[in-house]
A = this chain, B = another copy of it.
Amino acid sequence: MQIADRIEQALDRAVALAQGPGAPPLLASALRYAVFPAGHRIRPQLCLAVAGACGDADPESADAAAAAIELLHCASLVHDDLPCFDDSALRRGKASVHAEYGAPLAVLTGDALIVHAFATLRPVAARDPSRMATLLGIVTEAVGSPGGIVAGQAWECEVAVPLADYQRAKTGALFVAATRAGAAAAGVDAEPWRMLGDKLGEAYQVADDLRDVLCDSDELGKPIGQDAVRLRPNAAAQLGVGGAKARLEDLVRAAVESIPDCPGAADLRMLIKAQTALFFPKQLAREAA
Protein backbone atom coordinates (compact mmCIF):
# COMPACT_ATOMS: atom_id res chain seq x y z
CA MET A 1 0.00 0.00 0.00
CA GLN A 2 1.17 3.53 -0.77
CA ILE A 3 2.36 5.66 2.14
CA ALA A 4 -0.41 8.20 1.56
CA ASP A 5 -3.09 5.50 1.76
CA ARG A 6 -1.58 4.00 4.91
CA ILE A 7 -1.70 7.41 6.59
CA GLU A 8 -5.30 8.18 5.61
CA GLN A 9 -6.46 4.74 6.70
CA ALA A 10 -4.69 4.97 10.07
CA LEU A 11 -6.18 8.43 10.66
CA ASP A 12 -9.60 7.22 9.60
CA ARG A 13 -9.43 4.35 12.12
CA ALA A 14 -8.41 6.74 14.91
CA VAL A 15 -11.17 9.24 14.14
CA ALA A 16 -13.77 6.49 13.69
CA LEU A 17 -12.98 5.18 17.19
CA ALA A 18 -13.53 8.64 18.66
CA GLN A 19 -16.80 8.89 16.72
CA GLY A 20 -18.02 5.62 18.25
CA PRO A 21 -21.56 4.94 19.51
CA GLY A 22 -22.75 7.52 22.00
CA ALA A 23 -20.37 10.29 20.92
CA PRO A 24 -21.79 13.83 21.00
CA PRO A 25 -22.67 14.45 17.33
CA LEU A 26 -21.06 17.89 16.96
CA LEU A 27 -17.80 16.76 18.56
CA ALA A 28 -17.77 13.66 16.35
CA SER A 29 -18.31 15.83 13.29
CA ALA A 30 -15.69 18.40 14.32
CA LEU A 31 -13.08 15.69 14.91
CA ARG A 32 -13.39 14.45 11.34
CA TYR A 33 -13.52 18.02 10.02
CA ALA A 34 -10.23 18.82 11.79
CA VAL A 35 -8.39 15.84 10.30
CA PHE A 36 -9.89 15.50 6.80
CA PRO A 37 -9.53 16.20 3.96
CA ALA A 38 -5.79 15.70 4.07
CA GLY A 39 -3.35 18.54 4.45
CA HIS A 40 0.16 17.90 3.17
CA ARG A 41 0.65 15.18 5.85
CA ILE A 42 4.34 16.08 5.82
CA ARG A 43 5.08 14.72 9.30
CA PRO A 44 3.42 11.29 8.98
CA GLN A 45 4.93 10.89 5.49
CA LEU A 46 8.34 11.61 6.98
CA CYS A 47 7.69 9.10 9.75
CA LEU A 48 6.74 6.34 7.32
CA ALA A 49 9.57 7.22 4.93
CA VAL A 50 12.09 6.79 7.75
CA ALA A 51 10.41 3.56 8.88
CA GLY A 52 10.62 2.34 5.29
CA ALA A 53 14.28 3.30 4.97
CA CYS A 54 14.95 1.35 8.18
CA GLY A 55 13.27 -1.78 6.80
CA ASP A 56 9.73 -1.18 8.09
CA ALA A 57 9.83 -4.34 10.21
CA ASP A 58 6.55 -3.45 11.93
CA PRO A 59 4.35 -1.41 9.57
CA GLU A 60 1.36 -1.39 11.95
CA SER A 61 3.45 0.32 14.64
CA ALA A 62 4.79 2.79 12.09
CA ASP A 63 1.24 3.60 10.94
CA ALA A 64 0.16 4.10 14.56
CA ALA A 65 3.07 6.45 15.25
CA ALA A 66 2.47 8.38 12.01
CA ALA A 67 -1.22 8.79 12.83
CA ALA A 68 -0.47 9.90 16.40
CA ILE A 69 1.93 12.57 15.15
CA GLU A 70 -0.54 13.88 12.56
CA LEU A 71 -3.40 13.94 15.10
CA LEU A 72 -1.21 16.01 17.43
CA HIS A 73 -0.34 18.33 14.56
CA CYS A 74 -4.05 18.74 13.76
CA ALA A 75 -4.76 19.42 17.45
CA SER A 76 -2.15 22.16 17.49
CA LEU A 77 -3.66 23.78 14.39
CA VAL A 78 -7.16 23.74 15.89
CA HIS A 79 -5.98 25.35 19.14
CA ASP A 80 -3.59 27.82 17.43
CA ASP A 81 -6.47 29.09 15.28
CA LEU A 82 -8.65 29.87 18.35
CA PRO A 83 -9.79 33.45 18.90
CA CYS A 84 -7.49 33.77 21.93
CA PHE A 85 -4.44 32.92 19.76
CA ASP A 86 -4.30 33.65 16.02
CA ASP A 87 -8.09 34.08 15.63
CA SER A 88 -7.74 32.56 12.20
CA ALA A 89 -10.96 31.90 10.28
CA LEU A 90 -9.25 29.97 7.49
CA ARG A 91 -7.26 26.71 7.57
CA ARG A 92 -6.35 24.29 4.79
CA GLY A 93 -8.54 26.34 2.47
CA LYS A 94 -11.73 26.02 4.50
CA ALA A 95 -13.23 27.54 7.64
CA SER A 96 -11.14 26.80 10.73
CA VAL A 97 -12.74 24.53 13.33
CA HIS A 98 -13.73 27.36 15.67
CA ALA A 99 -15.15 29.35 12.75
CA GLU A 100 -17.26 26.35 11.75
CA TYR A 101 -18.18 24.88 15.17
CA GLY A 102 -17.49 27.66 17.67
CA ALA A 103 -14.66 28.08 20.17
CA PRO A 104 -15.95 25.63 22.82
CA LEU A 105 -16.04 22.71 20.39
CA ALA A 106 -12.70 23.78 18.94
CA VAL A 107 -11.10 23.57 22.40
CA LEU A 108 -12.64 20.14 22.95
CA THR A 109 -11.74 18.92 19.46
CA GLY A 110 -8.10 19.76 20.13
CA ASP A 111 -8.27 18.05 23.51
CA ALA A 112 -9.83 14.92 22.03
CA LEU A 113 -7.26 14.80 19.21
CA ILE A 114 -4.47 14.86 21.81
CA VAL A 115 -6.09 12.05 23.79
CA HIS A 116 -6.74 9.94 20.70
CA ALA A 117 -3.20 10.42 19.47
CA PHE A 118 -2.10 8.53 22.56
CA ALA A 119 -4.91 6.01 22.16
CA THR A 120 -3.57 5.30 18.67
CA LEU A 121 -0.32 4.02 20.17
CA ARG A 122 -2.02 1.48 22.38
CA PRO A 123 -2.25 -1.44 19.91
CA VAL A 124 1.53 -1.21 19.50
CA ALA A 125 1.78 -2.72 22.96
CA ALA A 126 0.25 -5.98 21.80
CA ARG A 127 2.94 -6.18 19.12
CA ASP A 128 5.92 -5.08 21.21
CA PRO A 129 5.27 -3.46 24.61
CA SER A 130 8.70 -1.85 24.95
CA ARG A 131 8.28 -0.31 21.48
CA MET A 132 5.11 1.42 22.66
CA ALA A 133 6.97 2.85 25.65
CA THR A 134 9.66 4.22 23.35
CA LEU A 135 7.07 5.78 21.04
CA LEU A 136 5.16 7.23 23.99
CA GLY A 137 8.37 8.88 25.19
CA ILE A 138 9.17 10.27 21.74
CA VAL A 139 5.68 11.67 21.32
CA THR A 140 5.36 13.24 24.78
CA GLU A 141 8.77 14.92 24.39
CA ALA A 142 7.58 16.43 21.08
CA VAL A 143 4.30 17.74 22.39
CA GLY A 144 4.68 18.60 26.06
CA SER A 145 6.89 20.93 28.06
CA PRO A 146 9.71 21.99 28.19
CA GLY A 147 10.50 21.43 24.49
CA GLY A 148 7.37 20.32 22.62
CA ILE A 149 4.78 22.12 20.52
CA VAL A 150 2.66 23.19 23.50
CA ALA A 151 5.73 24.88 24.99
CA GLY A 152 6.49 26.37 21.57
CA GLN A 153 3.07 27.96 21.43
CA ALA A 154 3.44 29.13 25.05
CA TRP A 155 6.54 31.13 24.08
CA GLU A 156 4.13 33.42 22.20
CA CYS A 157 2.73 34.40 25.62
CA GLU A 158 6.16 35.55 26.88
CA VAL A 159 7.70 39.00 26.58
CA ALA A 160 11.25 37.77 25.94
CA VAL A 161 11.39 34.89 23.46
CA PRO A 162 14.58 32.93 22.74
CA LEU A 163 14.07 32.51 19.00
CA ALA A 164 15.84 29.16 18.59
CA ASP A 165 13.98 27.57 21.54
CA TYR A 166 10.69 28.91 20.25
CA GLN A 167 11.07 27.63 16.70
CA ARG A 168 12.59 24.31 17.73
CA ALA A 169 9.66 23.66 20.09
CA LYS A 170 6.87 25.04 17.94
CA THR A 171 7.91 23.50 14.62
CA GLY A 172 10.99 21.35 14.98
CA ALA A 173 9.82 19.07 17.79
CA LEU A 174 7.17 17.27 15.76
CA PHE A 175 9.56 16.75 12.83
CA VAL A 176 12.06 15.25 15.26
CA ALA A 177 9.28 13.01 16.59
CA ALA A 178 8.46 11.95 13.05
CA THR A 179 11.98 10.79 12.20
CA ARG A 180 12.66 9.24 15.62
CA ALA A 181 9.30 7.47 15.76
CA GLY A 182 9.75 6.11 12.24
CA ALA A 183 13.04 4.54 13.27
CA ALA A 184 11.73 3.31 16.63
CA ALA A 185 8.65 1.76 15.01
CA ALA A 186 10.97 -0.17 12.71
CA GLY A 187 12.89 -1.45 15.73
CA VAL A 188 15.95 0.72 15.10
CA ASP A 189 17.72 3.09 17.54
CA ALA A 190 15.82 6.39 17.27
CA GLU A 191 18.52 8.79 18.44
CA PRO A 192 20.66 8.97 15.25
CA TRP A 193 17.54 10.15 13.42
CA ARG A 194 17.11 13.28 15.55
CA MET A 195 19.29 15.49 13.34
CA LEU A 196 17.24 14.76 10.23
CA GLY A 197 14.04 15.84 11.95
CA ASP A 198 15.72 18.87 13.46
CA LYS A 199 17.07 20.16 10.14
CA LEU A 200 13.85 19.44 8.27
CA GLY A 201 11.84 21.19 10.97
CA GLU A 202 13.99 24.28 10.70
CA ALA A 203 13.82 24.13 6.90
CA TYR A 204 10.04 23.92 7.09
CA GLN A 205 9.96 26.92 9.42
CA VAL A 206 12.06 29.02 7.03
CA ALA A 207 9.86 27.91 4.12
CA ASP A 208 6.76 28.83 6.13
CA ASP A 209 8.26 32.26 6.80
CA LEU A 210 8.92 32.70 3.08
CA ARG A 211 5.37 31.67 2.23
CA ASP A 212 3.98 34.11 4.78
CA VAL A 213 5.81 36.91 2.96
CA LEU A 214 5.48 35.76 -0.68
CA CYS A 215 2.28 33.80 -1.17
CA ASP A 216 -1.27 34.92 -1.56
CA SER A 217 -3.98 33.68 0.77
CA ASP A 218 -5.57 31.39 -1.88
CA GLU A 219 -2.31 29.57 -2.53
CA LEU A 220 -1.64 29.17 1.19
CA GLY A 221 -5.14 28.22 2.37
CA LYS A 222 -4.73 30.49 5.40
CA PRO A 223 -4.20 34.23 5.97
CA ILE A 224 -0.82 35.67 4.88
CA GLY A 225 1.40 38.38 6.36
CA GLN A 226 0.52 37.16 9.85
CA ASP A 227 4.06 37.25 11.24
CA ALA A 228 4.33 41.00 10.61
CA VAL A 229 0.84 41.57 12.05
CA ARG A 230 1.72 39.58 15.18
CA LEU A 231 5.33 40.84 15.44
CA ARG A 232 6.54 37.26 15.19
CA PRO A 233 10.09 36.56 14.05
CA ASN A 234 10.29 35.73 10.34
CA ALA A 235 13.43 34.47 8.60
CA ALA A 236 12.53 36.17 5.31
CA ALA A 237 12.09 39.48 7.11
CA GLN A 238 15.38 39.02 8.97
CA LEU A 239 17.56 37.62 6.17
CA GLY A 240 15.75 38.96 3.11
CA VAL A 241 14.09 36.61 0.62
CA GLY A 242 17.41 35.67 -0.97
CA GLY A 243 19.06 35.04 2.38
CA ALA A 244 16.16 32.93 3.60
CA LYS A 245 16.20 30.91 0.39
CA ALA A 246 19.93 30.23 0.81
CA ARG A 247 19.34 29.23 4.43
CA LEU A 248 16.60 26.85 3.35
CA GLU A 249 18.92 25.22 0.81
CA ASP A 250 21.65 24.84 3.45
CA LEU A 251 19.22 23.19 5.85
CA VAL A 252 17.94 20.73 3.26
CA ARG A 253 21.54 19.81 2.38
CA ALA A 254 22.39 19.26 6.07
CA ALA A 255 19.24 17.18 6.49
CA VAL A 256 20.09 14.92 3.57
CA GLU A 257 23.68 14.52 4.78
CA SER A 258 22.51 13.58 8.29
CA ILE A 259 20.64 10.45 7.17
CA PRO A 260 22.17 7.51 9.04
CA ASP A 261 23.30 4.35 7.29
CA CYS A 262 20.27 2.17 6.67
CA PRO A 263 18.97 -0.18 3.94
CA GLY A 264 16.98 2.55 2.20
CA ALA A 265 19.32 5.52 2.70
CA ALA A 266 19.76 6.31 -1.01
CA ASP A 267 16.02 6.29 -1.73
CA LEU A 268 15.33 8.35 1.38
CA ARG A 269 17.86 10.98 0.30
CA MET A 270 16.10 11.31 -3.06
CA LEU A 271 12.71 11.47 -1.40
CA ILE A 272 13.78 14.18 1.04
CA LYS A 273 15.19 16.26 -1.82
CA ALA A 274 11.97 15.88 -3.83
CA GLN A 275 9.70 16.58 -0.86
CA THR A 276 11.62 19.59 0.38
CA ALA A 277 11.53 21.08 -3.14
CA LEU A 278 7.80 21.35 -2.49
CA PHE A 279 8.57 23.47 0.59
CA PHE A 280 9.61 26.33 -1.68
CA PRO A 281 6.84 28.83 -2.37
CA LYS A 282 5.59 28.58 -5.95
CA GLN A 283 6.94 32.02 -6.77
CA LEU A 284 10.51 30.96 -5.88
CA ALA A 285 10.07 27.64 -7.64
CA ARG A 286 8.97 29.50 -10.80
CA GLU A 287 11.97 31.84 -10.57
CA ALA A 288 14.30 28.87 -10.18
CA ALA A 289 12.75 27.04 -13.15
A residues bordering B, Cβ < 8 Å? 18-28, 31, 75, 79, 82, 84-85, 101-105, 107-108, 110-112, 114-116, 118-119, 121-122, 125-126, 129-130, 132-133, 136-137, 140, 143-148, 150-151, 153-158, 165
Contacts and interface: CB of A to CB of B under 8 A. Distances in A.
22 contacts: A19-B146, A22-B147, A22-B165, A24-B154, A25-B158, A27-B154, A31-B145, A79-B111, A82-B107, A84-B104, A85-B104, A104-B157, A107-B107, A111-B150, A112-B151, A114-B114, A119-B136, A119-B140, A121-B136, A125-B133, A126-B133, A129-B129
A84 B20 CA distance: 26
A275 B272 CA distance: 59
Contacts of A130: 125, 129
A70 to B, nearest CB: 16
Contacts of A107: 79, 82, 84-85, 107
A87 B80 CA distance: 20
A229 to B, nearest CB: 16
